Amino acid sequence: MKRILVPIDFSKEAESAAKVAASIAKKTNSEIYLLHMLELPVNTIDPADMSGLRSEPQIIYFMKLAHQKFNKFKQLPFFKGIKVIESVQFHHAFAGIISESEKNNIDLIVMGSQGASGLQEMFIGSNTEKVVRRSSIPVLVIKKGKDNFAIKNIVFASDFSNECKKTFQKVIDFANLFNAKINLLYVNTIHNFNTTPAIESKIETFIKDFELGDYTRRIYNDISIEKGILSYSRDIDADLIALNTHGRSGLSQLFNGSIGQELTNHALRPVITFKI
């Protein structure tokens, strides 16, 4: 991991995301790209003459204001010793984040959230939800930043299908950055019931092609998949929940619809997503 992108709107949530990104950057010797998107009123922009965009007085004012805020923001103590690059772009927020992440070969996007309500917004149409859904790069969504973003226990909740194998090595690599234990979780429900031997065989087949360090596997019975993920994560005091995403459909077939809504309404832990 060499480059971490943090979208910045200068809110407390963005500061929390930047603090976590800084902690990861120190562990991985990564650079941090701070990105602020200026979504200006339509009447300030002439689509036929984007070349003259920066010469408009109002545009210049907003640019200077953003860079002034960045000058202050970059003085936050947790950035000490890290190479920080700032960028102010004119674009719709989620599309700009995707574009900049691809252009700059970003390895991880870290985005802030307001907690339960913020994460709920993430999966029902906010910019964060759109980034999670469309980003080919892992996206880490956090609520409150810590001075030291320590990850000891990761819950990887999955249906352990062959499709999910495509991103599992990335989950392992992320866990290895922190010497973290991966807790493999299959939630068994009455609506999608499988026998314990069948599930154990499926998990065994899933992991046989990977080199796992410290890990556990658990079949957890609950009334719904989302409640099982939340309950198990709470039971082991997990530091992070890892999920697969499935492109435009959002969360993968295992984690969609009400499952995603329930998780995002109530998950107070950080969530990292990996696109299949």
Collapsing DSSP states into helix, strand and coil, what is residue 210? coil
Residue 182 · residue 214 · CB < 8 Å: yes
The Cα-based distances of 193 to 139, 233, 253 in angstroms read 31, 21, 16
Give the DSSP letter of residue 88: E
pLDDT tens string for the chain (276 positions)?
899 999 998 888 889 999 999 999 999 999 999 999 886 554 554 544 545 555 567 777 778 888 889 989 999 999 999 999 999 888 777 788 999 999 999 999 999 876 545 444 444 346 777 788 788 999 998 877 666 788 999 999 999 999 889 899 999 999 999 999 999 999 999 988 999 999 999 999 999 999 998 999 999 999 988 889 989 999 999 999 998 877 554 444 444 444 544 554 466 788 898 888
State the pLDDT at residue 183. Answer: 98
Least Cα distance to 159 among 111, 96, 110, 206 occurs for 206
Concatenated DSSP letters of 17-65: HHHHHHHHHHHHT-EEEEEEEE---GGG--GGGGGGGGGSHHHHHHHHH
Collapsing DSSP states into helix, strand and coil, what is residue 208? coil
Sheet holding 108-112, edge to edge: 84-90, 31-38, 3-7, 108-112, 139-142, 271-275, 240-245, 153-157, 181-188, 215-221
Cα angle 61-63-67, degrees, rounded to a multiple of 5: 120
The H or E element that residue 213 is part of is none
How far apart CA 171 and CA 34 sit, in angstroms, is 24
The Cα-based distances of 96 to 143, 162, 273 in angstroms read 22, 32, 19
Least Cα distance to 119 among 276, 273, 260 occurs for 260
State the pLDDT at residue 154. Answer: 97
Structural domains of the chain in order of their starting residue, each with its CATH number: 3-142 (3.40.50.620), 153-275 (3.40.50.620)
Residue 35 · residue 42 · CB < 8 Å: no
Cα 270 to the chain's mean position, in Å?
8
State the pLDDT at residue 262. Answer: 52
pTM of the model: 0.85
How far apart CA 246 and CA 78 sit, in angstroms, is 34
State the pLDDT at residue 268. Answer: 76
Question: Whats the size of the chain, residue-wise?
Answer: 276
How far apart CA 256 and CA 247 sit, in angstroms, is 12
State the pLDDT at residue 196. Answer: 95
State the pLDDT at residue 239. Answer: 93
How far apart CA 32 and CA 29 sit, in angstroms, is 10
State the pLDDT at residue 244. Answer: 84
